[in-house]
Amino acid sequence: MTDTLVTEVEQTVDAYLARSYGAERRLTLAECHGWDRAFLDEIDDLGWFALAVPESADGVGLPLSAVGAATMSLGRHLVPGPMVERLLLPALLLRHIDGSGPPRHDLPGAVVALVDPAANGTWSVDDDGVRVESGGLVGSMLPVRFGQEADQLLTVAESAGELAVYLLPPQTPGLDIEPVASADPTARLARVTFTEPAGAGITPVLTGSAAGRFVTELRAWARILAACELSGIATRLVEDTSAFVQVREQFGRPIGSFQAVKHTLADMYALARSLRNLCDAALEDAVSSSAEDLPMLAAVTKAYAAEAAVGVCESAIQMHGGAGFTTETDLHLYYKRALALRGWYGDHEELAHRIGDALLAGAGLAEPGDVS
Amino acid sequence: MTTTVDPTLAAELEEYRTLCRSWLTEVRIPDVPLSLTERFRVLREWQGVLFDAGWIGIAWSREAGGQGLSHLHQLVFSEELARARAPQPIGLIGLDVVGPSIDRFGTVRQRTELLPRLLSGEDIWCQGFSEPDAGSDLSSLRTHAEIDGDDFVVSGQKVWTSWAHLASWCAMLVRTNAQAPKSRGISYLLVDMSSPGIVTRPLTQMTGDQEFCEVFLDRVRVPRENLVGELDGGWAIARHTLGTERAAYTLRRRVEYEVALQDAINELSACPTRDADPRRAYRVRSAVGRSHVSLRVLEAQTRKTIGRLAADTGPVPEDSVDKLLLNDIEQQVYGSIADLLGPLRVAPSGRPLGLDAARWAHDHLYSRAASIYGGTSQIQRNIIAERLLGLPRD
């Protein structure tokens, strides 16, 4: 069932992008780091952002695995913009908001930026997470994708040993959003600072165990989707590189006939294929995974994706020779995107370490900053 | 095992799994001695126990003495065997490789006389394919057979022949037509290892074991009725043999790695000094974490393999992706665990960090063979590049 669904969604998205989203458009969008309202509206009109939004909020109501399928195609075509944010955040949040609060009909159409300190670990020295203090938010996070462009900031904050989830409009008093230079061709970035106390008096959308459940799923799905996008990138670069080495000639023969080149391509294929199979398996299993198993499943998938896809990119650059290092091909764009995704929510080292820790302790997967 | 099979079969397989599991909790599982001769004896007895209880030849036809079930049933039993820390039967080359080829291509007499004894473990089989100058390029083999009356007369040399010194039969590829193109002049013969003119010499592996041998053949007389299939038609049989070998092997090994890593985790987590030194604690967690990721990758990969096995597609180029990953992952898992032995790796008798040093040092060395046997990693890469990516031949 999941299998068929994943294939169908992926094919639909892929067919549209193959038709309407060529190399020239990719370059134009990459030059503005993916911020183009008209393009977002075009995708919105196709209904992709509503795929996993519940029917009660006028969405298509598909399982979240459908978002994974779409994300693989977005990766394959290197589609910039707040895509994962729009595909996932409203859909996931609407599943967790119960009927007791006010309905959030503004969510499906909104550009929501994700301010979850777990996305960046504790890598930034002045980044110490976001906390609830005196009824408002304190802390900062760098980088936040599309922080300045977003209609809402979905913020995960720590509140006296528990989590609280806020939706904050950018005009919230005490909230400072400052653009920073981005090396990710597909995303604009910002530093978000909550000067004390930002958003005082604003009610969180989720608190306590409900917030805990949401955040667990959020982090798991963010990792799975990053892996899916990386899988799309890897698949594409194997195809492109394989085509290139069959036409590029040296010593009077296509370089694809040399064993050193063939073996590199074979390794790239094995990495991309196994990553794809891992993502397919994760999408199939995630929907029915328990809250205890989902974080491990996601961490494993992301850990492998972070290593495998970047490895494929690096080999693709090598196989293209000098041109692979220039901006004459799209390879640098794919590579930079893969590097951006590698670090987001933990790379292979970081995650392998946490996975090992959990297995040895016979416990669940801890997030950085968790009190042990 | 998951959902790539239909629900009815999946339910049947789960029932079968319960049956396997409950039998394995009741039977006495043998300890496997390190000495190879002892090990051979124990594992052969174990095959007899498994045979009597109906767990041998699970995917074989009933006519051939098997259980008439599917490859997936066989896989379930192998999984449960590994999880129960029970050894495999000794006659795997016969059971997985030679037997199915005799069953499919052999004469009625060959099937009825040879297969029952193969299943019970009474006859242990070896497979004489490789030669000193024909490993990866198997079609270049030179061991030759001339017809003389009712016999073939075979001369030449085989190598890497597992258990040849202890086996009673050998399924052998020989050149019967020197004029035909390389792969068209080869025949598949069943050779009684007690025939005059056969000398075997075990080779010592880097693990210290003597599992495979050189086999020297000097004018060995093999009855013509021991030819399997057509004269000069052995190549097709060999390809069939190697194909069925690969998918079944991949699936069985995957479970063995899972069990091994679980053993390592149990040993490490029971060791109180594991976290004493932060750098060492970091290495332990990293080795376990990375190995776990590798095994999940292999599990996801083999869901497709199970689908192919269930559909009985025969060998396909995708098998080479499995084999390549399998090699890398076996070496990553055993290599990273053995690295945790540190300097005690060269004195592998104690329990550094709780690990059974002798076992991990041995298993790591054994893992180096993974990228050589069954088609080297380089051969698998050629297959992937040429047949899956369409790159030109060298």
Tens digit of pLDDT for each residue in A165-210? Answer: 999 999 999 999 999 999 999 999 999 999 878 888 889 999 999 9
Nearest to B301 by CA among B248, B254, B258, B256: B254
Within a domain: residue B115?
yes
Is the pLDDT at A335 greater than 80? The verdict is yes
Distance CA(B145)–CA(A95), nearest Å, equals 73
Distance CA(B290)–CA(A303), nearest Å, equals 9
Instruction: Tell which of B258, B262, B292 to mutate to test the A interface (max A CBs under 10 Å).
Output: B292
Nearest to A216 by CA among A283, A139, A120, A118: A118
Q: Are residues B273 and B167 in the same domain?
A: no
Q: How many domains does chain B have?
A: 3
CA dihedral angle for residue A199, residue A201, residue A202, residue A206, rounded to 10 degrees: 120
- We report the CATH number of the domain holding residue B282 as 1.20.140.10
Q: Are residues B279 and B321 in the same domain?
A: yes
- CB atoms closer than 10 angstroms to residue A81: 25
- We report the CATH number of the domain holding residue B139 as 2.40.110.10
Q: Is B122 near chain A, with CB under 8 Å?
A: no
Say yes or no for a CB contact (<8 Å) between B289 and A303. yes
Residues 6 or more apart whose CB falls under 8 angstroms from that of A298 comprise A219, A220, A221, A223, A224, A227, A282, A286
* Per-window interface: A 299-338 vs B, CB < 8 A: 300-301, 303-304
Distance CA(B320)–CA(B296), nearest Å, equals 18
Under the banding of pLDDT at 50, 70 and 90, the label for residue A101 is: low
Q: Are residues B169 and B42 in the same domain?
A: no
Instruction: Map tokens 């090598």 to a residue.
Output: A318
- CB atoms closer than 10 angstroms to residue A304: 28
Ordered by where they begin, the domains of chain A are: 1-95 (1.10.540.10), 112-207 (2.40.110.10), 210-361 (1.20.140.10)
Alpha-carbon distances of A147 from A131, A171, A229, rounded to whole Å: 18, 12, 21
The mean per-residue pLDDT over the stretch B305-333 comes to 89
The ipTM estimated for the assembled molecules is: 0.95
- We report the CATH number of the domain holding residue B94 as 1.10.540.10
Tens digit of pLDDT for each residue in B262-313? Answer: 999 999 999 988 888 999 999 999 999 999 999 999 999 999 888 887 777 7
Within a domain: residue B353?
yes
Distance CA(B99)–CA(B113), nearest Å, equals 12
Distance CA(A41)–CA(A33), nearest Å, equals 16
Token readout for A265 is: 């391509």
Distance CA(B53)–CA(B62), nearest Å, equals 15
Is the pLDDT at A143 greater than 90? The verdict is yes
pLDDT of residue A100: 64
**Average pLDDT taken over every residue of chain A:** 93
Active site residue B330: no
Name the more confident of A128 and B119: B119
Q: Are residues B215 and B260 in the same domain?
A: no
Under the banding of pLDDT at 50, 70 and 90, the label for residue B136 is: confident
**Average pLDDT taken over every residue of chain B:** 92
pLDDT of residue B308: 83
Within a domain: residue B394?
no
pLDDT of residue B316: 87
Alpha-carbon distances of B371 from B34, B327, B331, rounded to whole Å: 24, 5, 9
This prediction's pTM:
0.94
Distance CA(A340)–CA(A185), nearest Å, equals 9
End-to-end C-alpha distance for chain A, whole angstroms: 39
CA geometry: angle A282, B256, B360, nearest 5 deg:
115
Helices (H), chain A: 2-20, 23-31, 37-46, 65-77, 83-96, 208-247, 259-286, 294-319, 322-325, 331-343, 348-361
- Mean pLDDT is highest, among A1-10, A340-349, B86-95, for A340-349
Within a domain: residue B1?
no
Q: Are residues B220 and B136 in the same domain?
A: yes
Tens digit of pLDDT for each residue in A241-278? Answer: 999 999 999 999 999 999 999 999 999 999 999 999 99
Boundary (domain end) residue, out of B231, B254, B281: B231
Say yes or no for a CB contact (<8 Å) between A281 and B386. no
pLDDT of residue B92: 87
Is the pLDDT at B3 greater than 50? The verdict is no
Q: Are residues B327 and B267 in the same domain?
A: yes
Nearest to A92 by CA among A203, A4, A182, A213: A213
Domain, as residue range, for B185: 125-231
Say yes or no for a CB contact (<8 Å) between A266 and B385. yes
CA distance B273 to chain A (A): 13
Boundary (domain end) residue, out of B120, B153, B179: B120
Say yes or no for a CB contact (<8 Å) between A274 and B301. yes
Instruction: Map tokens 């997967």 to a residue.
Output: A365
Q: Are residues B88 and B181 in the same domain?
A: no
Within a domain: residue B97?
yes
Q: Are residues B129 and B35 in the same domain?
A: no
The mean per-residue pLDDT over the stretch B161-173 comes to 95
Distance CA(A143)–CA(A146), nearest Å, equals 9
Instruction: Tell which of A2, A244, A274 to mutate to test the B interface (max B CBs under 10 Å).
Output: A274
Helix (H) or strand (E) holding B155: strand B151-162
* Pair B330, B168: CB distance under 8 Å: no
Token readout for A189 is: 């970035």
The mean per-residue pLDDT over the stretch A335-343 comes to 98
CA distance A311 to chain B (A): 15
* Pair A46, A87: CB distance under 8 Å: no
Within a domain: residue B44?
yes
Q: Are residues B218 and B265 in the same domain?
A: no
Residue tagged active-site, from B245, B258, B267, B330: B245
8-state DSSP, A117: G
Q: Are residues B174 and B113 in the same domain?
A: no
Q: Which residues of A touch B278 (CB under 8 A)?
A: none
Q: Are residues B284 and B372 in the same domain?
A: yes
Residues 6 or more apart whose CB falls under 8 angstroms from that of B274 comprise A360, B268, B280, B281, B284, B353, B354
Name the more confident of A124 and B199: B199
Boundary (domain end) residue, out of B231, B264, B291: B231
Residue type, B376: T
Instruction: Map tokens 């989830």 to a residue.
Output: A165
Q: Are residues B261 and B280 in the same domain?
A: yes
Within a domain: residue B265?
yes
Within a domain: residue B2?
no
Alpha-carbon distances of B186 from B94, B118, B192, B375, rounded to whole Å: 21, 24, 19, 19
* Pair B363, B260: CB distance under 8 Å: yes
Q: What is the largest CA-CA distance in chain B?
A: 75
